[in-house]
Copies of this chain bind each other. A is one copy, B any other.
């Protein structure tokens, strides 16, 4: 058994490299470009090795979708405990919510999301994953803000903040929106300060 461990490790590393490359290909080049061959090339993995892990494009997309939302959900869970002491809670919380939706993971998810409009099987896959990530993002934002989510007004303001962050993510897909975004995020945080304090 022990001699097989390095092989298993290599296999796991290769699989993860392919999944990472899939996010990159989807986010940068889009849905149509995302084939097993292109992803293998991006990952620096032979086509044969890639097909060993993902025989079909569908296998790759399915595994990648789970990987993307797992990463997003983990981001939402991890970030919670890392609020710098003394930081401006509200500004940091809003900036982190926005970060979920402006990274490569969300851009990749958006490509699968669009494709799911014409693909019922894909839609069935993406809906629960998206729901789980949405719940994690909501809980993280509540904890970072240090607010009482059982207050309906607070609950809705947290939701509005995540909707706002999602809209910023979308605005960033075709062109770099970061300069404008910074100012708008500051304005939103200012609003929350008024209403949550």
The answer, yes or no, to whether A163 is at the interface (CB within 8 Å) is: yes
Number of identical protomers? 2
B174→A123 contact, CB < 8 A = yes
Instruction: For the complex formed, measure the closest distance between the CB of A178 and the CB atoms of chain B, giving whole angstroms.
Output: 13
Q: Mark A103-123, 1 if CB is under 8 A from B, else 0.
A: 000010011011111110001
Number of interface residues of A (CB under 8 A): 49
B174→A126 contact, CB < 8 A = yes
The answer, yes or no, to whether A76 is at the interface (CB within 8 Å) is: no
The answer, yes or no, to whether A83 is at the interface (CB within 8 Å) is: no
- Tell which of B110, B118, B168, B195 touches A191, judged by Cβ atoms closer than 8 Å: B195
Q: Provide the bound-state CA to CA distance between A72 and B152, in Å.
A: 33
B127→A174 contact, CB < 8 A = yes
Q: Mark A156-187, 1 if CB is under 8 A from B, else 0.
A: 11011011111111110111000010011011
Query: Most chain-B CB neighbours within 10 Å: which of A114, A126, A130?
Result: A114
Q: Provide the bound-state CA to CA distance between A28 and B119, in Å.
A: 11
B191→A157 contact, CB < 8 A = yes
Residue of B nearest to A166 (CB): B167
The answer, yes or no, to whether A37 is at the interface (CB within 8 Å) is: no
